[in-house]
């Protein structure tokens, strides 16, 4: 669909050889209004994209080559930049690109601009932030909770995958004041393995992950403060787990509430009725319902005997949890219809 | 994308609640020129499509309901029918629909019209064929080998999944006379589990398939005569195996040849140079390169010490091996560009 | 190892063709003091064991044949009976066997004798219990919490798989009075697919489970009252989930406590120091650490910011969660060393 | 079972932190006549065994610690050494140990002493062999084909995993002269991922292997000459494939023969009737039948239309294909009953 007439923005992808980069490229093959002009990778610099990702043979991107990062070239030739680097690696590059071209729209996949205050970032990530002055230009890119802010900013901090699933799962109840905060809120999350990123690591080799299930980050995980801040809560108990599958996050969330089951269900349904990418479900979702898509499927219920609401929230961690959400954010900042290129449904099986 | 302006054909899917039906629906959400007006299912008759397939919530098909099969309604209201029934169940329905409306285009997923001669069918499937008179209206729907024939026929017999991978893998060598037929041709194929269809069965429960690998149909499989007929060979040794994954067929094919490696590679590349859906590769493909797509990825090489050519051919068994190919065939019979709605790339991970 | 000298008890397995039956047989190939004389199965009656389970070729059981259930034969010829039937199917058989031979030791895998009071059973399972008079002869078979009782009883109600993991994970804290019961206790459990039993079912076919993760029984599950009763708690919030793997349960358990992390860890370590089958860990366990074994691996920690203790408990659902525990119970009722035949370590990969 | 009375040999495992090392340790927990006194690992030197392999907590090996390799200590204190190193790393160590103590029994997992002639090794592996003089002390450790030789030698070259499955699958037909060698013999093999060894590598990370199937080593694999030599054949066409599962190899082997199906089946059954570890099957085996065991399950049939015999041979690649076979070889060289510690049956599910 590339190359058809109509308006078109030029995009660069920095760090395009990882899982989020590959997913972004896949989604953009279906986007009629974007052309990818530059992909960078340190590891695969000089290689053809299709030598690294042969599944893109015959795609609109089949002639791309992984380039070294060149700030001038990207900042001057592109309208949008997707920065798919890890935290700490990202802010110097964002700063450089912004300095060269303040008109550039930057979608940053890292945690570097997610917090309201750089101090929180420095505490949580244990890193000194050298682009503090850009926080005023940046915002958190979860459109369902701050779409208007996104439209006005240059740097969009694409949310973490776990926070996306958990914030969307708690937001209606939080906004409506239905959460009894005298009891801790618990988010027990389970993620597919793409969440670990694309790197050689003994812990993520096939045999060590396959046919096993475990919790990790049990003593504390960096996504907990991100969740707490966005929900304006003092603390959230967050336990991530690793599921032997590629894609998907399912968060099972517990909070104390006076609200009844039907009331909760009605409130969630009403709250998200105009949000295309949130599907409030009549029954608990599976991650396979959303794999490969930008949907967040949510089910809410209540157990009277314990007074607990239970929310089940499912996303694709590299879809709505990363690259899908990045495209959604790009659509917003570029003024495209928000669902452009994202009306994709799960392969399911 | 449904409901946009432009020409549109109306389609029915008979037996839409299986894996090929679900995949067809998924592909058609991306097809700009087709609207699905009827889906039938005996098992789920009366249920909403999204109760059975919640992954289609918010899709263009979210209001569809599984209906009982009604030949009059389908034959008179539709332009194209996809018949996703098993062999023997299919021919009475094809006959009925054709009798009511000979203008209807019928894409049949079963084996019922795949052979040139009904006698072969009766021998291989052990079934009496009661619609023998329709063989003149039918053709084998493998566009890369008989596109012109497909354009002229009303009933398109969508090929078997294994035969698709094997025929495409052998066709250039066969046509060019490079196969030494004094030695048996061997196709050792490995399939994901969707190939078994969607049904409750102890043999295909998760635990009995997971973490295991086996051959089946070792004494003979119905796809062997289909392969042999289309390649005009007396016999082919075909051994299918079951891989613990959802999608994909990889066929490893051996034949004796005088041709050299480079010669073979050049011939294959040249033979398929205008076929969008066949990607002749420089290195052996993985099934994940083609999962969710209509591509057939092929690699050919030669071992001088044994005189054997080795062809590795990968497809998605429910993509190019079933529903993708059905859409390709529909595009041909409807006069649409052949790749319409099929320029999709693999999720890869 | 069968047939060596030394004392030997004769065992029957009723309903031996399921997953728990197969696992029990596997474990008993390594038990020096038991011979299996009868295996029954309705579905496979008359078939050789090795036709159904070819992995037992050349085992001590290779000559066994699945027989119809014959109460006289079993009650009179055997010392121990393993009854691997579902709830409701079990109590009539237990009653019949007990009536014929009150000396028989019966290990019942079902829920039929797990509760203290038949009324609770009738409420939870919605079934009238017609062997209420046997509750006095029965006890709950979780040796780590009631070993002495097991020694004195004829009918041992083998615990549910989820309750085993959760009760062992909470027991030390409960006994020591460390759980603040003014807040609900939450057990978020994740199970492999063998937990669903061996039956043809669309919901558990490979493709519908593979590459997906979901919660089920969200509105209430029968294991919750079993857990609450054994821990003497009014209610426990229990959410089970299905993991795409064969074996293993991991329960992530949350409770409010005043206790400190180190205090909890010391108490757990001390509490289980003489229990061979409970391994209190220094770091969170994976299910692969315990797959194929009778171990329960437990890790406990505390999050000061929320005041929550977090316990991670891992078992093999058909090991310590079913057949392994059954062998442990058999060892106790037969007066064998409790670890006999169970000193097996995980395949790990 | 360690520490019981009776004769006992002392064993060392060099390179014990890989998959074959872990499997060997697991098998030796069940061996009554061996105690493991030393485990070495460069990567984990100084760590407790149970810090690296927590699944061995409470095992007889729970107090072991990974040590640096010390030739004097091992050669003088041990009776048997298992050398689990890759090719080229192994022969200097074997040489050193043998030189210090020629009475030592060395089971070598590498390819370094598998060929009859060091020249073949040097050609195939492209390495100069500096312990050529030891070939006279060494033999190929496939007991079913050269048990007597094994008894007489000090260095046992444990066979490759693929060769084990293929040689056992072809041996009866080859010995009986039933293979028509005017046509190439084809071995199409499929392996689980443990075959790749335990190392951080992008190619073997979970997401890149999961839900995919591929061939590799298509232009030639080092196991082909090993197979050809042991079967005294000029060449064998061998194609390995990677299956998304942990354990197991299934080889599908084709050869031309005049023999009939029943004749072949009878010959195979007769040939292996006294071999405990080879189970000639009535139907094609699955890899799950043999996972975790030392069995090789074989099925043979014949297709008259193509004149091809088809042999299906299944092993656990790290069982009979590596560590199980190593224990079997140890039993032989130590004069123990050959099945000691190996009468284990598959977990199956």
Each residue of C86-108: pLDDT tens digit? 999 999 999 999 999 999 999 99
Residue A258 above 80 pLDDT? yes
Q: What is the pLDDT of residue C4?
A: 47
Residue D46 above 50 pLDDT? yes
By Cβ distance, the residue of D23, D57, D347 closest to C292 is D347
Q: What is the pLDDT of residue B6?
A: 55
Provide the mean pLDDT of chain A.
97
Q: What is the pLDDT of residue B73?
A: 97
Mean pLDDT per 10-residue interval, chain B, length 349 residues: 61 98 98 97 97 98 97 98 97 98 98 98 97 98 98 98 98 98 97 96 97 98 97 96 98 98 98 98 98 98 98 98 98 98 97
Two structure tokens written together for D114 = 């598998």
Q: What is the pLDDT of residue D45?
A: 97
Asked if B174 and B335 touch (Cβ cutoff 8 Å), the reply is no
Write out the DSSP string of B221-232: -THHHHHHHHHT
Query: B205 vs C201: CB contact, 8 Å cut-off?
Result: yes
Q: Chain A residues with CB inside 8 Å of B349's CB?
A: 19, 22, 194, 246-247
By CB neighbour count within 10 A (0-12 exposed, 13-18 middle, 19+ buried), where does A14 fall?
A: buried
Closest residue in C to D275 (Cα–Cα): C58
Domains in chain B with CATH codes:
9-158+322-334 (3.40.50.720), 161-319 (3.30.360.10)
Q: Chain A residues with CB inside 8 Å of B59's CB?
A: 343, 345
Q: Chain B residues with CB inside 8 Å of D210's CB?
A: 245, 349
Q: What is the pLDDT of residue D7?
A: 56
Query: B201 vs C205: CB contact, 8 Å cut-off?
Result: yes
Query: A19 vs D207: CB contact, 8 Å cut-off?
Result: yes
Residue range D146-153: average pLDDT? 98
Q: Chain A residues with CB inside 8 Å of C301's CB?
A: 218-219
Q: Chain D residues with CB inside 8 Å of C30's CB?
A: 30, 344
Which stretch of DSSP H or E encloses residue A221?
A: none
Q: Find which of A207, A209, A247, A348 to mutate to test the D interface (most D CBs within 10 Å of its CB).
A: A207
Q: Exactly one of A78, A84, A161, A296 is catalytic; name it.
A: A161
Query: B349 vs D208: CB contact, 8 Å cut-off?
Result: yes
Query: A243 vs C246: CB contact, 8 Å cut-off?
Result: no
Write out the DSSP string of B63-91: T-BEE---HHHHHHH-SEEEE---TTTHH
Query: B214 vs D246: CB contact, 8 Å cut-off?
Result: no
> How many CB atoms are closer than 10 A to CB D51?
14
By Cβ distance, the residue of B19, B200, B244 closest to C200 is B200
Q: Exactly one of C78, C83, C84, C161 is catalytic; name it.
A: C161
Q: Exactly one of D83, D84, D161, D296 is catalytic; name it.
A: D161
Closest residue in B to A274 (Cα–Cα): B58
Three-state SS at D231: helix
Query: A349 vs B295: CB contact, 8 Å cut-off?
Result: no
Closest residue in C to D58 (Cα–Cα): C276
Each residue of C151-203: pLDDT tens digit? 999 999 999 999 999 999 999 999 999 999 999 999 999 999 999 999 999 99
Q: Chain C residues with CB inside 8 Å of B211's CB?
A: 246
- A161 catalytic? Reply is yes
State the greatest distance between any 2 C-alpha atoms of chain D, in Å, as a whole number.
62
Closest residue in B to D312 (Cα–Cα): B215
Q: Exactly one of B83, B84, B161, B296 is catalytic; name it.
A: B161
Residue D1 above 50 pLDDT? no
Q: What is the pLDDT of residue C7?
A: 57
pLDDT-based confidence at residue A3 (cuts at 50, 70, 90): very low
| B and C: number of Cβ contacts within 8 A | 60
Q: Residue holding tokens 């340790």?
A: D25
Query: B344 vs A54: CB contact, 8 Å cut-off?
Result: no
Query: C308 vs A254: CB contact, 8 Å cut-off?
Result: no
Q: What is the pLDDT of residue B252?
A: 98
Query: B204 vs C205: CB contact, 8 Å cut-off?
Result: yes
Q: Chain D residues with CB inside 8 Å of A205's CB?
A: 193, 198-201, 204-206
HEC string of chain C equals CCCCCCCCEEEEEECCCCHHHHHHHHHHCCCCCEEEEEEECCCCCCCEHHHHCHHHCCCCCCCCEEECCCHHHHHHHCCEEEECCCCCCHHHHHHHHHHHCCCCEEEECCCCCCCCCHHHHHHHHCCCCCCHHHHHHEEECCHHHHHHHHHHCCEEECCCHHHHHHHHHHHHHHHCCCCCCCCCEEEEEEECHHHHCCCCCHHHEHHHHCCCCEECCCCCCCHHHHHHHHHCCCCEEEEEEECCCCCCEEEEEEEECCCCHHHHHHHHHHHCCCCCCEEECCCCCEHHHCCCCCCEEEEEEEECCCCEEEEEEEECCCHHHHHHHHHHHHHHHHCCCCCCCCCCCCCCC
Torsion angle in degrees (nearest 10) through CA of C276, C278, C283, C285? 110
Asked if A194 and D207 touch (Cβ cutoff 8 Å), the reply is yes
Query: D210 vs A244: CB contact, 8 Å cut-off?
Result: yes
Query: B200 vs C202: CB contact, 8 Å cut-off?
Result: yes
By Cβ distance, the residue of A186, A214, A349 closest to C207 is A349
Q: Find which of D169, D179, D214 to mutate to test the B interface (most B CBs within 10 Å of its CB).
A: D214
By Cβ distance, the residue of B212, B310, B314 closest to D286 is B212
Query: Listing from the earlier edge strand, what are the strands of the sheet with C236-242?
Result: C214-215, C236-242, C185-191, C249-256, C308-315, C296-303, C278-280
Closest residue in B to A273 (Cα–Cα): B58
| A and B: number of Cβ contacts within 8 A | 88
Provide the mean pLDDT of chain C.
97
By Cβ distance, the residue of D19, D56, D289 closest to C345 is D56
Distance from CA of B313 to the nearest CA of D (A): 10
Q: Chain D residues with CB inside 8 Å of C293's CB?
A: 55
Residue D59 above 60 pLDDT? yes
Residue range C303-323: average pLDDT? 98
Residue C1 above 80 pLDDT? no
Distance from CA of D21 to the nearest CA of A (A): 15
| A and C: number of Cβ contacts within 8 A | 140
% of residues, chain A, pLDDT over 70: 98
ipTM confidence score: 0.97
Distance from CA of D183 to the nearest CA of B (A): 7
Closest residue in B to A317 (Cα–Cα): B349
% of residues, chain A, pLDDT over 90: 98
By Cβ distance, the residue of A19, A200, A211 closest to D246 is A211
Query: C193 vs B209: CB contact, 8 Å cut-off?
Result: no
Q: Could you tell me where the beta strands, DSSP code E, fall in B112-248? A: 138-140, 155-157, 185-191, 214-215, 236-242
């Amino acid at each position: 669909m590339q190359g058809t007439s109509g308006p078109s923005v030029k995009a660069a992808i920095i760090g395009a050889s990882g899982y989020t980069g590959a997913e972004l490229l896949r989604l953009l093959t279906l986007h009629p209004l974007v052309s990818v002009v530059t992909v960078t990778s340190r590891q695969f610099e000089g290689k053809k994209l299709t030598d690294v990702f042969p599944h893109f043979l015959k795609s609109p991107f089949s002639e791309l080559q992984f380039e070294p990062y060149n700030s001038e070239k990207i900042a001057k030739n592109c309208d949008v930049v997707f920065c798919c680097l890890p935290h700490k690696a990202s802010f110097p590059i964002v700063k450089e690109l912004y300095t060269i071209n303040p008109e550039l729209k930057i979608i940053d996949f890292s945690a570097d601009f997610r917090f309201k205050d750089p101090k929180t970032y420095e505490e949580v990530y244990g890193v000194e932030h050298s682009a503090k002055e850009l926080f005023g230009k940046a915002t958190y890119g979860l459109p369902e909770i701050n779409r208007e802010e996104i439209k006005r900013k240059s740097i969009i901090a694409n949310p973490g995958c776990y926070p996306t699933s958990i914030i969307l799962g708690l937001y209606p109840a939080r906004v409506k004041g239905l959460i009894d905060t005298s009891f801790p809120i618990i988010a027990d999350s389970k993620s597919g393995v793409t969440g670990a990123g694309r790197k050689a690591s003994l812990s993520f080799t096939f045999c060590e992950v396959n046919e096993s299930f475990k919790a990790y980050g049990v003593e504390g995980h960096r996504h907990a403060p991100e969740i707490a801040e966005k929900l304006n809560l003092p603390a959230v108990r967050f336990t991530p787990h690793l599921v032997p599958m590629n894609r998907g996050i399912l968060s099972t969330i517990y909070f104390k509430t006076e609200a009844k089951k039907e009331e909760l269900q009605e409130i969630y349904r009403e709250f998200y009725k105009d949000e295309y990418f949130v599907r409030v479900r009549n029954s608990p979702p599976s991650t396979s319902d959303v794999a490969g898509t930008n949907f967040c499927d949510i089910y809410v219920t209540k157990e009277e005997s314990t007074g607990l609401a239970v929310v089940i929230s499912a996303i694709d961690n590299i879809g709505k949890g990363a690259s899908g959400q990045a495209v959604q954010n790009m659509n917003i900042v570029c003024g495209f219809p928000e669902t452009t290129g994202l009306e994709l449904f799960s392969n399911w099986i």
